Chain A
């Protein structure tokens, strides 16, 4: 199975800050990497697919980059509604593993 390691596990930032979350795969997955946002009691929400494509309706402050084994999710200007946990997921092979999550807190 492909393992995904996210860093950091949690972070605290001010509104307006630039936030970067990284995801490293245990083997090359080309661009088969997606990012989701999860809030308590809510369904997960797709933010970025295929490493860098912005899902329709998602604010442009979210962006993704990377290929192979190293990927990044960036929030260019953190907003209060961005308080959530963020997960990367690989779709290169089954099982479709997720990273352990990065919890983003607003200072």
Chain B
């Protein structure tokens, strides 16, 4: 089955760290750029980060730059999001998503079900 499954969420104190994982299956993971998107409950979708097929190109939203690090292990079909110096405003459901292309236009055609991060003392 083609799917993405996130894990690693939970409750963490402000200033703490957490590493999210997203395990891919059913497709050639090493051929896909991958993204993280988050959603505060009751609010909209917000793009967080992306990584290229080889793990050499990464980008971040300004709100997480310098605190979050995206990486991947193609041997394990997994993409990670290392989150440091967490703040209350980072509390959200985090989704990983696969980038796909048609007519040279990219879109997220596969999403995980998300993992909830709560930053609170």
A100 within 8 A of B: yes
Q: Residue of B at shortest CB range from A42? A: B113
What interface size band does chain B fall in? Answer: 20 to 34
Asked if A101 and B114 make an inter-chain contact with CB atoms under 8 angstroms apart, the answer reads no
Q: Are B102 and A43 in contact (CB under 8 A)?
A: no
Chain B nearest Cβ from A101, distance in angstroms:
5
| Contact call B108/A50, Cβ cutoff below 8 A | no
**Which chain A residue lies CB-closest to B42?**
A40
**A69 proximity list for chain B (CB < 8 A):** none
How many residues of chain A are within 8 Å of chain B by beta carbon?
A: 25
Smallest distance from the beta carbon of B33 to chain A beta carbons, Å?
Answer: 11
- Cβ contacts under 8 Å, A43 to chain B: 95, 111-114
- The 8 A CB mask of A40-70 against B (1 = contact, 0 = none) is 0011111001100101000000000000000
For residue A71, CB closer than 8 A to chain B, the reply is: no
CB interface residues, B 12-64, toward A, < 8 Å: 35, 37, 39, 44-47, 50, 59, 61-62
CB of B47 within 8 A of CB of A98, answer yes
Q: Which residues of A contact B102 (CB under 8 A)?
A: 49-50, 53
**Contact between A91 and B111, CB atoms less than 8 A apart:** no
Interface residue from A42, A49, A94 paired with B107 (Cβ < 8 Å): A49
* Contact (Cβ within 8 A) B113 A96: no
Q: Which 6 A-B pairs have the closest CB atoms?
A: A49-B107, A43-B111, A50-B105, A34-B107, A91-B106, A98-B45
Can you spell out 7 A-B residue pairs with CB atoms less than 8 angstroms apart?
A32-B106, A49-B109, A50-B103, A89-B108, A95-B62, A96-B35, A98-B47
Given contacts A95-B47, A95-B62, 11 further A-B contacts (CB under 8 A): A32-B106, A34-B107, A36-B108, A45-B111, A49-B109, A89-B108, A95-B61, A97-B47, A98-B44, A98-B46, A101-B44
